Amino acid sequence: TKKMLSQLGRDLSTAEQRILDHRPFVNGEINNFLNEFELKRNEAEVETLFKVTEIIGDVKYDLYERCTILSTSHLEELNQEVNNLLVGVEGFLNKVELQKQPNEYLIQSRKDREHKRANFLIDLEHKYERVKNSIEEKEEEIDELYSDLQVKLNIPK
């Protein structure tokens, strides 16, 4: 009987835990949900892959052939247009180069300006030399006056 009572006591102490513990049930539901989700997801992904493969096949064969046919037919037209454009650009560049040659009046004006500038620089150099010489003369005069003043005042050098 003691054994039964201890067994009953253990059963009663674990009864609360067994009644209120929902972990096994929740874990089972989570696993079931994950399995269903993965199954549906994999089915949708496989369907998408098949659709993409089908579209790529269509594009590969149909679009490739259409592109090659259209490109060969239009490449000659494009080549002709590009050549015409190049001829037009070359003609335009030739006209611009011919128009670039300066006018005789402009050439003469440029020479006159250069001559005036050269004369101005020569005149400026001459005036600079005159000022420099004048300053040297004034310095010499001041030195002489200072010397005379020292002699008159008997100041030793």
pLDDT tens for 72-111 read 778 888 888 889 999 999 988 888 777 667 788 888 999 9
Separation between Cα atoms, residue 83 and residue 89, nearest integer Å? 10
Proportion of the chain in helix, strand, coil states, percent, rounded to 5: 95, 0, 5
- Interval 26-72: pLDDT, tens: 788 878 877 777 777 777 777 787 788 888 877 777 777 777 787 77
21: left (phi over 0), alpha (psi -120 to 50) or beta: beta
pTM value is 0.34
In the chain, what are the domain boundaries? Answer: 1-73, 102-157
Write the CB contacts of 93 (distance below 8 Å, at least 6 apart in sequence).
none
